[in-house]
Amino acid sequence: MNLEQLFTQHFPGYNFLFNYSLQNKSYFKIGGPAEVFFAAKKAQEAIDLLVFCKEKDIRFTIIGGASNVVIADEGISGLVLSLDFADFSVISETDQDLLIRAEAGIKTANLVGKAAALGGSGLEGFIGVPGVLGGAIYNNAHYLKALISDVIVEVEAFDLESNNIINISREKCEFAYEQSIFQKNKNFIIFSATFALKKISPDQVKQLVRDSIAKREKTQPLDLPSCGCVFQNPANTDGLRQLFPQFAQLEFVPAGFLIEAAGLKGIKEGDIQVSEKHAAFFVNLGHGTAKDVVKLVEKVKAVVLEKFGVILKEEIFYLK
């Protein structure tokens, strides 16, 4: 029995898609087909499918907004499960504080907008983070010096090992720059998060949101498909401080600055280009492939290492 027969037989009411082009989901407009694709609108649907895959030893891949991933040209075998449940609720509210809960599939921009309308401050910098909340938590999304984990109280996750929903405190999530426990422990599937925000006037928060949007529009190539920043900002070193004294007091040096300083702005592999607007971004000029991305990543890493002695590490994730 093939996977199409297996899933349709066991889950007759589920709207599976077979041989589904993942370019439809990817911000980068790159990627081959999913052997089986399902968008879970409810947490229980995701639980049922995850438990089934574990019991039947079926490979599965979780995706959210697919904004910081590069999907293989050959596609992904097994089940590709999109977590699309996106409820938002207010847990408690005072004149000073706002406690909210949001599910993994809510678009990050939508979460910021809902919090701003209530006067909740702390998320507004993430208005331009593409994709959905689950991915932002998984990668511990950052904006300037702020991390999304700064305002997280706890994360609700499904533990595939015990088949239970668990709550993980911020401290136990092992958050750091571009890091979380969810990258290490594949048994933890993010379902929702609780945020503690400070209350200010909704007009003030909305202005902060507008400021953040304006900054991104001015500096980032938002008019072309991309996967966001490709590389993590590398840790500063004595050598970099001597080369670039303007960053001497910073813990990290912007990866985009190093790429531009290496003369790599605008270079291409196929239809994948280092953005001419912001060198930390790769953009798809039309028909770029995952293989093009990998080639360009390796070229950029090699030149930056040769010129500055810095090993760039990808911020993106490869799905295959």
At 263-288, the pLDDT tens digits run: 999 999 999 999 999 999 999 999 99
Which residue from 29, 36, 35 is spatially nearest to 14, judged by alpha carbons? 36
Single residue among 149, 180, 210 that ends a domain in this structure: 210
pLDDT tens track for 241-250: 999 999 999 9
Number of structural domains in the chain? 3
pLDDT at residue number 1: 72
If asked whether residues 205 and 226 sit together in one domain, one would say: no
- Whether 147 has a pLDDT exceeding 80, the answer reads yes
Q: For residue 109, what is the domain's CATH number?
A: 3.30.465.10
pLDDT at residue number 179: 94
Q: For residue 305, what is the domain's CATH number?
A: 3.90.78.10
- What is the C-alpha separation between 244 and 253, in angstroms, rounded? 9
3-state class (DSSP) for residue 132 = strand
Strand partners, 11: none
Within a domain: residue 30? yes
Within a domain: residue 215? no
If asked whether residues 100 and 200 sit together in one domain, one would say: yes
If asked whether residues 23 and 99 sit together in one domain, one would say: no
pLDDT at residue number 213: 86
If asked whether residues 67 and 13 sit together in one domain, one would say: yes
Q: State the chain's mean pLDDT as an integer.
A: 95
- Whether 144 has a pLDDT exceeding 80, the answer reads no
Q: Which residues contact 91 (CB under 8 A, 6 or more apart)?
A: 99, 100, 101, 194
The range of the structural domain enclosing residue 153 comes to: 88-210
If asked whether residues 200 and 289 sit together in one domain, one would say: no
pLDDT at residue number 215: 85
If asked whether residues 140 and 29 sit together in one domain, one would say: no
pLDDT tens track for 113-138: 999 999 999 999 898 888 899 999 99
- Whether 100 has a pLDDT exceeding 90, the answer reads yes
If asked whether residues 79 and 93 sit together in one domain, one would say: no
- What is the C-alpha separation between 15 and 12, in angstroms, rounded? 8
% of the chain surpassing 70 pLDDT: 100
Within a domain: residue 48? yes
If asked whether residues 192 and 294 sit together in one domain, one would say: no
Mean pLDDT of 213-237: 90
Single residue among 163, 183, 210 that ends a domain in this structure: 210
Alpha-carbon dihedral 197, 254, 274, 208, rounded to 10 degrees: 30
If asked whether residues 198 and 283 sit together in one domain, one would say: no
If asked whether residues 227 and 205 sit together in one domain, one would say: no
Query: pTM above 0.95?
Result: no
If asked whether residues 39 and 135 sit together in one domain, one would say: no
Single residue among 158, 181, 210 that ends a domain in this structure: 210
Residue 64 binned pLDDT confidence (cut-offs 50, 70, 90): confident
